[in-house]
Amino acid sequence: MDTTLLVGLLAAFFTTFAFAPQSIKTLKTRNTEGISITMYIMFLTGVISWVVYGFLRSDIAVLIANVITFFLAAPVLLITLINYKRGKK
Amino acid sequence: MDTTLLVGLLAAFFTTFAFAPQSIKTLKTRNTEGISITMYIMFLTGVISWVVYGFLRSDIAVLIANVITFFLAAPVLLITLINYKRGKK
């Protein structure tokens, strides 16, 4: 494996797994207080753009990092939206 | 500007600016409750790795996104460490 890819996979590992616990905690507790819907939609738009970018550049590290982040972040947004709708009723 | 770079810059814009408000709020209030030092060190290690990766691949979008994120996240870690040290005294 070449050095560049190794650095990319390390980067992907660290930023993804630093993000994971917060996401898993939210999924478990369903407590979405303090989560900004606007910011989360912006974030997910960014993550999807990174997936497209990684695909266009055939960049495995960018792809892996953002596909995993997408599956961690998308359910959090979903729960946040459900809680928001319930709260408004 | 080619499409790939444009997608990358869009991605960089969205993920960076989704992260910014939380970081700016922490810097203003100096309230670092709920911030995990371990996770933040992991995150910053990842961000620095992405900068190195972006440099090695001459990837402007990855470079810009992570250099900005570094300057947003590093002071937050610093304040968190200072608060942690104070709390222990």
Query: Does A11 contact B at CB distance below 8 Å?
Result: yes
**Pair B43, B73: CB distance under 8 Å:** yes
Nearest chain A residue to B51 by CA distance is A11
Angle (CA) A52-A55-A57 rounded to 5° is: 110
Domains in chain B (CATH in brackets) are 1-84 (1.20.1280.290)
**Pair A47, B8: CB distance under 8 Å:** no
- A19/B43 CB distance under 8 A: yes
B30: left (phi over 0), alpha (psi -120 to 50) or beta: left
pTM of the model: 0.90
Cα B62 → chain centroid: 12
Over its length of 89 residues, how does chain A's per-residue pLDDT go in tens digits? 799 999 999 999 999 999 888 889 888 999 988 788 999 999 999 999 999 999 999 999 999 999 999 999 999 999 999 999 998 65
- With CA atoms as reference, report the closest residue to B44 among B79, B19, B80, B69: B69
Work out the minimum CA distance from A38 to partner chain B, whole angstroms.
8
Q: In a 10 Å sphere around its CB, with 0-12 CB exposed, 13-18 middle and 19+ buried, how is residue B54 labelled?
A: buried
3-state secondary structure of A34: coil
CB contacts, 8 Å: B63 with chain A:
none
